[in-house]
Amino acid sequence: MLKVGIVGGTGYTGVELLRLLAQHPGVELKAITSRSEAGMPVAQMFPNLRGHVDLAFSEPSVEALGACDVVFFATPHGVAMKQTPELVERGVRVIDLGADFRIADPAVFEKWYGLPHSCTDMLAEAVYGLPEVNREAIRKARVIANPGCYPTAVQLGFLPLLKAGLVDVKHLVADAKSGVSGAGRKAEVHTLFSEAAESFRAYGVAGHRHLPEISQGLARMTTGSVGLTFVPHLLPMIRGIHATLYATLKAESGDLQKLYEETFAGEPFVDVMPAGSLPETRSVKGANTCRIAVYRPQGGDTVVVLSVIDNLVKGAAGQAVQNMNIMFGLPETTGLGQIALLP
Amino acid sequence: MLKVGIVGGTGYTGVELLRLLAQHPGVELKAITSRSEAGMPVAQMFPNLRGHVDLAFSEPSVEALGACDVVFFATPHGVAMKQTPELVERGVRVIDLGADFRIADPAVFEKWYGLPHSCTDMLAEAVYGLPEVNREAIRKARVIANPGCYPTAVQLGFLPLLKAGLVDVKHLVADAKSGVSGAGRKAEVHTLFSEAAESFRAYGVAGHRHLPEISQGLARMTTGSVGLTFVPHLLPMIRGIHATLYATLKAESGDLQKLYEETFAGEPFVDVMPAGSLPETRSVKGANTCRIAVYRPQGGDTVVVLSVIDNLVKGAAGQAVQNMNIMFGLPETTGLGQIALLP
Amino acid sequence: MLKVGIVGGTGYTGVELLRLLAQHPGVELKAITSRSEAGMPVAQMFPNLRGHVDLAFSEPSVEALGACDVVFFATPHGVAMKQTPELVERGVRVIDLGADFRIADPAVFEKWYGLPHSCTDMLAEAVYGLPEVNREAIRKARVIANPGCYPTAVQLGFLPLLKAGLVDVKHLVADAKSGVSGAGRKAEVHTLFSEAAESFRAYGVAGHRHLPEISQGLARMTTGSVGLTFVPHLLPMIRGIHATLYATLKAESGDLQKLYEETFAGEPFVDVMPAGSLPETRSVKGANTCRIAVYRPQGGDTVVVLSVIDNLVKGAAGQAVQNMNIMFGLPETTGLGQIALLP
Amino acid sequence: MLKVGIVGGTGYTGVELLRLLAQHPGVELKAITSRSEAGMPVAQMFPNLRGHVDLAFSEPSVEALGACDVVFFATPHGVAMKQTPELVERGVRVIDLGADFRIADPAVFEKWYGLPHSCTDMLAEAVYGLPEVNREAIRKARVIANPGCYPTAVQLGFLPLLKAGLVDVKHLVADAKSGVSGAGRKAEVHTLFSEAAESFRAYGVAGHRHLPEISQGLARMTTGSVGLTFVPHLLPMIRGIHATLYATLKAESGDLQKLYEETFAGEPFVDVMPAGSLPETRSVKGANTCRIAVYRPQGGDTVVVLSVIDNLVKGAAGQAVQNMNIMFGLPETTGLGQIALLP
C-alpha cells in the first residue's frame, strides 16, 4: 500500500482527491493538512466523505508528510515550490496540482504568477504530467507538475494535428468553457450562485495564466513557437470543461478521424468518439476521461475539435492519481474506473 | 457471477442500474431490452457508458431473460405485472423498480394507477423492498417491489418516531422536494429545461401516487391507519430528494437524536447525522445513502425530520442492487461503495 | 417628482430598487450611497443599468439625503436605526428594507439580532409595511419597516385563515424555500455556485430571524400568541420564494377558495389563483405579485396553502416602492406594472 | 393605437411578444391564434400574464388578422409564407419571426429548411429586419424577415470589422453559445432539464440553419462571399446568447474600440462597452440590448469580439417590436425600455 499525504485539502481539488483515493485499492491515506482547519474531521467539511474518510485535517508537518511515499499538493501556487525540496530529499515523490512546476521558464512563471520562482532546480527536473505525452518521463519523475484543467483539454485536442504538422500553428484558436468549480472554493462575489447562474461570459481575454502553459505544451508538439488565441468562459454549471478548437489546414489533411483514432489508440483515458459525435461534458462528470470529436465543417480548410473533460478529474485530481499510478508501477487505470454520473 | 437482465433500460433508472451493475464485482450483464431501441448500443444512448458497457438494447425475449438469475424491471407500471409470472416460473427472481407490486390492495392500486391489477397472486407474494424494514423477507423473496423514491425518503425519516409510538399519526406532514430526474426521461413540456429551471412549484397536492404507498408503509410501522398530508415539489436540479417531515409529539419524547441513532445503528446506508446537522442532497449524489437529521425547534411539541436521498440511487437503482445483494447472499454493500460527487 | 435617496445600494436589494425606481415615472433618483464604492458609477457594478442610471455611488451624507422626500435603507441591520432619527427630523420619510424596525419588542430584537436597539422611540412609531394588512397606517407613516421576504410570503398565505379564525394557531407549519439571492451579495462559501447549485438543504431549523417577525405578524391577525414551526430551505435558483403552509382546521371551514378570493379582492398585488392551481415562482419573477393557491387534500382537516413571491420584489424592493406610492398618495401600482419574465 | 395580431403564440417567442406588447403604450392586442389551444386563455398557459393579458387563443382567421395593422408570425418555418400574401393584400404589414423570408435565395432556403419556398415574390420584397443595417428599408417594408437569434448577435459583432474591410473574410469564426429557450417550447428529450442542466455541448457543427443566414448578412457588409465557421453550443441556462467572434487582421487596424463606438454611435440598442469589459448575458436578460466588447489579445493579429443578447428579446420578440416601431413611425424605443433583470 502506498502511503499518501495531501497538502491543502480544503478546496475542490482536495475533496476530489479524497474521493478518488478513498476508493483506490492501493493507497493508504496518511495525512491531509490544512493550517486553518487543523483538527476538523474531513468529513465534517465534506459530508459526502462521511463513512469513507476518517481522517481529520492536521497541521502541515515535514515529519508526517516525509513518511509518505507520495505527497499531493492541492494548494495555491507558491506553496509547493517551498515545501517540495525537503520532501524530495526524504525520498518522497511529489505531485503538484498547482502551477509551481508547470512553466519551464522561471521568467515566464514570474510574469504570469507575480512571484519569483524559489525552486528553480526542482523546476528544471519536474516532469509535466500529461501522460498521453510524457508517460515514460513520468515513470521516473520525483516531481510532477500536474497540468492545468484548460491545458489538459486543449493540448489533448490539438495533439494529433500538431504532431502531424497539418495546421497553421501561428493562428490557433481555443475557445474554452469551464464550470464554476474551476474557480475553486474561495469566497468571492463573482462566483456566487446569484452571480454565475443563468449567465455566461468570457474572462481573461486579455491574458489568462493557462495561456503560457498551453503555448509551451503546444510548442513542444511542433517546431518553433505557436500563436494561440485562448478565450476562457465561465459556464453556469459546476463541473466540466468544453474546449472548442479551431485551426487552419495547411494542405490536404487526409482522414482526420483516423488520425485522431490512431494517435490515441491504446490510451485508456482518451476517447475519440465516432465521426459526427457531439461530446457532452456530462458524459465525463466524475470520470477521468477526455472525449474528443473532430470536424471539418463544409469540407473547408478549418478544422474544429471538440474536447471535453471533468475539470476536477482528468483536469486535476484524476490525472494526478493517473500520474501516481504510472510513477509507482500500478496499472494506470487503478482506482479510476468510475463511470460518469449521467444524468 | 449472477446473470442479470434489465427490462426497459432507456430511462434514467435504467442507465443508473447500468452504471451500478457495470461496476458490481458479482454480476454479469446478460441482456437489456428495449422494444423501441433494439439494436442500438447502450453506450450510444448514454455516452457515459462508453468503454464500460458493450451491450446493445435487445428485443424483450422470455428466453434471454429466463436464463438470468435476476431481472430488473425499469419500466412504467403495467409492464412488470404482465411479464413477471413467466419469469418466476422459470426460476428467475424479479426486482420491479416500477409500481406494480408496491400497493398490497389491488383496489387501491387500480384507483391510483388507473388500471386493474392483472397479477394479484404475485402481488400477494411480493415483498416491499425497503431493507431497513423488511430485510429478512427480502432474502427469500421471489418478487421485490422496489420502493418509490419519495416513499423511501419519507418512510426512513418517520420510521423511528412511528415505531416508538411518539407522535400523533393522524396529522403527519411530508413536505417533499425532488429533482427533475424523478420525472423520468420522457419528452414532456413541463420538464423542459426552460420550464423547470429557475423556478419551483408544488405538484400533485390534491393527490400523488406515492401517497398510498407511503401511507401503507407508515401504517405498517404503527397500529391502525395514519393521516398523512404529502406535498411533493419540483426542484430546479437533476438529482436528489429532500423530505421535510413534521409530526406532533403526543408526550415527552426523550432524546430523539439517540432514538434515531439507535434505530439505524448497523444500517449501512442510513446515516443519522450529528445533532444540528443540515443534510444536503448533494452529500448523497450518486451514492446509495439516506442521511437524516432530527430537530425539535424551540423545544416545542413539533418534531422536524430532514431526510435526503439520491432519487435514482437509494430511491431506485441503488436500492434495487441492495435488494439483489440481500436476495443472493452477497454482502449488502457489494458494488455500492460509491462516494457522492461533491461538488 | 419625488426626490429619492438610497443608502447602501451595492446589494441585490439595492440594484432591484434601482431597476424599479429608474422606470418609475414619479421619482427622481438623487443619491445612492456606499462608503466602500464611493465614486464608482452604479452601472459599472451593475451593467444592466447602463444607459438607465447615470448616478455614481456617493459617500453617505445627511445633507444630500436630508434633501430627499424619501430615503430607502438597503443596509444590514443596525444602520437604519442609527441614521433614521436625523432624517426624520429633517422631514424625510424613511423606508427601511432591513430588519431594524420590524420587531416591535426591543428585547426580542436584541435576542435575535444580537445588538441592542438604539432607537426605540422610532421603533414604537414605525409602521410594519405590509400593505394588505396596514395600508391606512402606511399612508401617514414617517418610518416604514419593510417586511422580510419570508414573512411576506408566509403572512399573506396565512392571513385569510387566521382572520377567519378557522385553524389551530398553536400548530402552524411554514415550510419555506428561497432562491439564493435572498442571502445577499456577500462573498461567502456556502452561497458559491459550486456549493448551492444541484443541491438542496434546509437551514436555520433551530431558529431563524424571520421566525419572530412572522410570529408577531400572525399573532396580530388573531388573538393571543401563535405556535409556528418555520423551516427555511435554500433553492438552487436565483429568485423566488415558495412557502408551503400547513394548518389544521378547528371545525368545518366552508369554501376556502371563496374565503381567499374575498379576502384579497381588490388587492392589486395578491393573485388568488383558480382552485387546483400550482403557483410557480417563475410566474412572479421580476414582478411585485404574490400568487396563492389553497387546498384541502383528500378533504381532510389539514389546509395547505401555496404562496409564491419574488423575494427581491414583493419580498423587498417592489414592496418598498409600493409603500412609497401609498405614503405619497400615488396610485399604488405606479411603476410596478412589470410582467414576470417567463421563461 | 396599432391593432396587432399574433399567429402562433404558444411558444417562447409568442409569450415574449405578449410580455412586450402588453406593456407597449401604442398597441392594442386584437388576436392571438393557436389552432391547438383555441379557447384557452393565454394567461392560463403563461401565468406571468395573469392580470395583464385577457385574450384567449383563437382559431387562425383571415378576417380577424386582416383587420390588424400588423401581424407577427411566431410560427415554425413554412407557415408565414403561406399566410402572408393574403394579409399583405388586405394592407396588413407582416413581421415574421420565423425563417421564411430570411434567406434571399429560394434554392438555399430549400436546401437548409427542406421545403421549397412557396412565396418567392414576397421573399424578393421582404426586408431583413436588422435595424442597425437596414433601418431605412424597414420603414417602408410590407414584410419583415425578423433575424434569427444567433445571426443578430454575430452580425452586429462583425459589422464594424467587415464594413471597415479590416479582416480576412475567408476565415471568420463564430463560436456561439445559446440558452435552452432558443430551442423553443417543444417536448423533446434533448432539451429536458435532466439532459441540458449541468452539461454543455456543441451542436450543428457540420451545418446549422443559421449559417446561410449569417453568411448572407456578412457578405452584404463586404464584397464577395465570406468564409465562416459557425459552431453553436447549448448553455445550461434559459436565456441569453454569447457570440465569441474571431477574425484575422489583414493589416494594422487602428483603434478598434473607437471603430466600434463610432459604428454604433446613436444606436439605441447596441452598447459598445468600455475597453476591457466582459459582457455578461445576464446584463441583457429581458432587455432589447446587444452589448459588445472588442479585444486584440497580446496585440496580435487576431481580433476577438464578444457580443451578447437575450435570444428572446433582441434575438426575437424585442427586435420584432423595434421593427414595428420603425415601420409605423413610432419612436424606436417605445415599449422597449425594460431594464435587464439582474441578478
Which own/partner contact pairs does A53-56 have at CB distance under 8 Å and 24+ positions apart? A53/A18, A53/A22, A53/A29, A55/A29, A55/A31
Which of A 151-190 lie inside 8 A of D, CB atoms? 171, 173, 175, 177, 179
pLDDT band at A200 (very low <50, low <70, confident <90, very high): very high
Q: What is the pLDDT of residue B253?
A: 83
Whichever domain contains A106, its CATH number is: 3.40.50.720
**Looking at beta carbons, which residues of chain A come within 8 Å of C14?**
none
Q: Are C180 and C234 in contact (CB under 8 A)?
A: yes
Nearest by CB to residue A171, choosing from D236, D302, D306, is D302
Nearest CA-CA distance, residue D12 and chain B, Å = 9
Residue C138 lies in a domain: no
Residue A341 lies in a domain: no
Q: What is the pLDDT of residue A9?
A: 87
Q: What is the pLDDT of residue A257?
A: 98
Share of chain A above pLDDT 70, in %: 100
Q: Which residue of A has its CA nearest to D201?
A: A280
- Determine contact: D282 vs chain C, CB below 8 A: yes
The residue with cell 447602501 is: C8
Q: Are A192 and C180 an interchain contact pair (Cβ–Cβ within 8 Å)?
A: yes
Using the 8-state DSSP alphabet, how is residue D148 labeled? Answer: P
Nearest CA-CA distance, residue A199 and chain D, Å = 5
**Looking at beta carbons, which residues of chain B come within 8 Å of D16?**
none
Whichever domain contains A221, its CATH number is: 3.30.360.10
Distance CA B289, CA B272 (A): 10
Element (H, E) at A263: helix A256-263
Kindly state the average pLDDT of the residues A124-136: 98
pLDDT band at B223 (very low <50, low <70, confident <90, very high): confident
CB burial readout D90-128, b (16+ within 10 A) else e: eebbbbbbbbbbbbbeeeebeebbeeebebeebbeebbb
What are the pLDDT digits (tens) for A218-238? 999 998 889 999 999 999 999
Chain mean pLDDT for chain A: 97
Q: Could you tell me if D242 and D194 lie in one domain?
A: yes
pLDDT band at B224 (very low <50, low <70, confident <90, very high): confident
Burial of C134 (0-12, 13-18, 19+ CB in 10 A): buried
Q: Are A132 and A156 in contact (CB under 8 A)?
A: yes
Q: Could you tell me if C162 and C254 lie in one domain?
A: yes
Closest by Cα among B142, B149, B6 to B72 = B6
Q: Are A297 and D199 an interchain contact pair (Cβ–Cβ within 8 Å)?
A: no
Element (H, E) at C67: none
What are the pLDDT digits (tens) for C53-112? 999 999 999 999 999 999 999 999 999 999 999 999 999 999 999 999 999 999 999 999
Expressed in angstroms, the distance from the first to the final Cα of chain D is 34
- Given the cut 0.95, state whether the ipTM is greater than it: yes
Distance CA A172, CA D248 (A): 11
Q: Which residue of D has its CA nearest to B235?
A: D193
**Looking at beta carbons, which residues of chain A come within 8 Å of D199?**
237, 240, 280-282, 285
| Ranges of H-type helices in C67-119 | 80-89, 106-113
Q: Could you tell me if D110 and D9 lie in one domain?
A: yes
Q: Could you tell me if A57 and A95 lie in one domain?
A: yes
Q: Are B122 and B112 in contact (CB under 8 A)?
A: no
Q: Are A23 and B238 an interchain contact pair (Cβ–Cβ within 8 Å)?
A: no
Q: Could you tell me if C112 and C237 lie in one domain?
A: no
Say which residue, A252 or D203, is predicted with more confidence: D203
Q: Could you tell me if A45 and A112 lie in one domain?
A: yes
Q: Are B142 and B127 in contact (CB under 8 A)?
A: no
Residue C338 lies in a domain: no
- Determine contact: D202 vs chain B, CB below 8 A: no
- Determine contact: D265 vs chain B, CB below 8 A: no
Distance CA C72, CA C144 (A): 9
Element (H, E) at B248: strand B241-248
Nearest by CB to residue A200, choosing from D177, D207, D246, is D177
Task: Give me B34's grid cell.
Answer: 428495449
Q: Are C242 and B200 an interchain contact pair (Cβ–Cβ within 8 Å)?
A: yes
**Looking at beta carbons, which residues of chain C come within 8 Å of B293?**
205
Kindly state the average pLDDT of the residues B154-163: 98
Q: Are A192 and C192 in contact (CB under 8 A)?
A: yes
Residue D278 lies in a domain: yes
Q: Could you tell me if C113 and C165 lie in one domain?
A: no
Angle at C299 between CA C294 and CA C301, to 5 degrees: 80
Q: Are D278 and A205 an interchain contact pair (Cβ–Cβ within 8 Å)?
A: yes
Q: Are C195 and A193 an interchain contact pair (Cβ–Cβ within 8 Å)?
A: yes
Distance CA B145, CA C98 (A): 52
For residue B33, what are the domain limits?
Answer: 2-125
Q: Could you tell me if D106 and D157 lie in one domain?
A: no
- Determine contact: A248 vs chain D, CB below 8 A: yes
Instruction: Kindly tell me if the per-residue pLDDT of B316 is higher than 90.
Output: yes
Q: pTM to 2 decimals?
A: 0.97
Q: Which residue of A has its CA nearest to D284?
A: A199
Nearest CA-CA distance, residue C22 and chain D, Å = 9
Q: Could you tell me if D105 and D156 lie in one domain?
A: no
Residue B325 lies in a domain: no
Q: Residues with Cβ < 8 Å from C137, sequence gap 6 or more? A: C127
- Determine contact: B225 vs chain C, CB below 8 A: no
Q: How many angstroms from the chain centroid is the CA of residue C129? A: 9
Residue C104 lies in a domain: yes
Q: Could you tell me if D166 and D94 lie in one domain?
A: no
Instruction: Kindly tell me if the per-residue pLDDT of C341 is higher than 90.
Output: yes
Residue D259 lies in a domain: yes
Residues of chain D under the 50 pLDDT cut:
none
What is residue A326's three-state secondary structure? helix
What is residue D170's three-state secondary structure? coil
The chains in contact with chain B, meaning 3 or more Cβ pairs closer than 8 Å, are A, C, D
Q: Which residue of D has its CA nearest to C278?
A: D47
Residue D305 lies in a domain: yes
| End residue of a domain, out of D91, D125, D159 | D125
Nearest CA-CA distance, residue C311 and chain D, Å = 12
Catalytic annotation on B290? Answer: no
Q: Could you tell me if D177 and D285 lie in one domain?
A: yes
Nearest CA-CA distance, residue B128 and chain C, Å = 25
How many domains, in total, are found in chain D? Answer: 2
Q: Could you tell me if A75 and A111 lie in one domain?
A: yes
pLDDT band at A251 (very low <50, low <70, confident <90, very high): confident
Kindly state the average pLDDT of the residues B265-280: 98
Distance CA B16, CA A339 (A): 10
C-beta atoms surrounding A332 within 10 Å: 18
Nearest by CB to residue A197, choosing from C183, C187, C193, is C193
Considering only the C-alpha atoms of chain D, give the largest distance between any 2 of them, rounded to a whole number of Å.
62
Q: What is the pLDDT of residue B39?
A: 95
Task: Give me C257's grid cell.
Answer: 377558495
Q: Are B129 and B323 in contact (CB under 8 A)?
A: yes
Kindly state the average pLDDT of the residues C268-295: 98
- Substitution target from B16, B189, B194, B342 for chain D, most D beta carbons within 10 A: B194
Closest by Cα among B133, B283, B290 to B216 = B133
The residue with cell 461533491 is: B342
Closest by Cα among A138, B90, B198 to C285 = B198
Q: Which residue of C has its CA nearest to B178?
A: C200
Q: Which of A8-12, A264-268, B84-88, C227-231 has the lowest mean pLDDT?
A: A8-12
Instruction: Kindly tell me if the per-residue pLDDT of C9 is higher than 90.
Output: no
Expressed in angstroms, the distance from the first to the final Cα of chain B is 34
CA torsion angle C82 C83 C89 C91 (round to 10): -140
